[in-house]
Chain A
């Protein structure tokens, strides 16, 4: 699903990533962990082609992203679902409209929009909040709307950049469980986080990055075990 081969990303003289290699298979649930500035966000940006690799090759869902033309980027992104740390919801739109917004922009028929949005809101457990605007929702609920928006187009891969960064521990756990449920339906999930407690609890594959390089890759082993 995702393959990084000898990937280096440089900003000026500064290496954001150096010779990074990893593969994420279809259907996997993977955490990307590391301190701030280690290169987690750069990996995310390379996946959804916000940035291009300086050297090496990035493949996502069979597409060589490193050489992808700008005009083809929207087609790549339609196959992905992106979840943001700050939710990025439209403040004056209801939960339904927030999820429906992109589908409408893509020309989806209205009855199809309704079917898919209701389906996505059911998955995230917000079917009773379809008419609520973001300020009427808790942080955890807002992030659920963000997740519903990410999955509404039926993506093969969901990437979440610090999805629990703005949430309390209980909401964070709920969001992780929700992403796990989505993964169990067959969607590949990649989450960047620095919440090690949650990562430990989930017992899933972890790619650790530090100083622009991968330093560990495997199932998280807590120091207690």
Chain B
């Protein structure tokens, strides 16, 4: 029969065991001394690098996606070209749904209003025609067509530039991820070694606990918790450098009047917490398997 008092007694007992496990875990941190600092610095560093690289990849992808969906190109005309003559020619191209002329005087005035301390020089900007195209699939053919026109100096399409940024970011990310994996393995090794030393130092206690019938999970849990807490703390400490990196990236992007998503940071921090805790836990499990054969 269900008895409320026996339920509460069992619950109170579990609480006391949980409390002992927490005491043992923090005892483990105390015994680890300077190794705590080494592990946390390494863990925070790798998670910061990982977080920054993930953020860079996500932000560049977001920019490419956002700008890539805009089907507009800018056609810069040669000085010898006549803007009024060119605009109808460009408008009549297939798939072009709108053409907007931006005279070079207008562009120059806008630039002067935006920028302070511009030296007194002649207007270097070209006349521009901004074309809107019916679909992203047709953008490249229009670029090709306009580039071959004799009065066209250059054609700009942000997507191409963003693709280059993305490729650069991907290159940096791949190198960075490899470096992160290397540091991750190093961290696993350091955590595993520290906990192994701790297990060796506590061999006597563990032997007594085993002989007196204390459960295996009670013996293992403080080591597992210690390893996981290294990862969790490292992830939380890495929040500041990663947030600072994002602030820097956003500043650069806003200088170019580009907006990026603000949601990525929370996703990346969540990812860092999960990966950090997992790395710590795996490091601990490794040493438990190797040296704590209970």
Residues of A within 8 A of B (CB): 48, 70-71, 73-80, 82, 84, 88, 90, 101-102, 104-109, 149, 153
Contact = CB atoms under 8 A, between A and B. Distances in A.
Given A70-B216, A75-B213, 13 more contacts: A48-B211, A80-B213, A82-B212, A88-B208, A90-B204, A101-B209, A102-B212, A102-B213, A105-B17, A106-B214, A107-B13, A107-B20, A109-B16
B263 interface: no
16 contacts: A71-B216, A73-B213, A74-B215, A77-B211, A77-B213, A79-B213, A90-B204, A90-B205, A90-B208, A102-B208, A102-B209, A106-B17, A106-B213, A108-B13, A108-B16, A109-B16
Given A105-B17, A105-B218, A107-B13, A78 B208 contact: no
Contacts of B209: 101-102, 105
B contact patch SS: helix
B92 interface: no
Given A88-B204, A90-B205, A109-B12, A78 B17 contact: no
B106 interface: no
Contacts of A70: 216
A77 B212 CA distance: 6
Interface in B212-254: 212-216, 218
A223 to B, nearest CB: 36
Given A74-B216, A88-B204, A82 B13 contact: no
A33 B17 CA distance: 39
A105 B17 CA distance: 6
Nearest to B208: A88
Given A90-B204, A105-B218, A153 B212 contact: yes
B21 to A, nearest CB: 9
B207 A88 contact: yes
Contacts of A153: 212-213
B12 A74 contact: no
Contacts of A71: 216
A107 B213 CA distance: 12
Contacts of A48: 211
Nearest to B212: A102
A71 B213 CA distance: 11
Interface string B116-135: 00000000000000000000
Contacts of B216: 70-71, 74
Nearest to A146: B208
Nearest to A80: B213
Nearest to A106: B214
A105 B12 contact: no
Interface in B173-213: 204-205, 207-213
A74 B218 CA distance: 11
Contact of B214 (A79, A82, A88, A105): A105
Nearest to B12: A109
Contacts of B208: 88, 90, 101-102, 149
A79 B210 CA distance: 13
B20 A104 contact: yes
A80 B213 CA distance: 8
Contacts of A102: 208-209, 212-214
Nearest to B23: A104
B160 interface: no
A91 to B, nearest CB: 8
Nearest to B218: A105
Contacts of B12: 109
A108 B215 CA distance: 14
B206 to A, nearest CB: 11
Those 7 A-B pairs whose CB atoms lie nearest each other, nearest first: A78-B213, A77-B213, A107-B13, A102-B212, A107-B17, A74-B213, A107-B16
Contacts of A107: 13-14, 16-17, 20
B105 to A, nearest CB: 84
A68 to B, nearest CB: 12
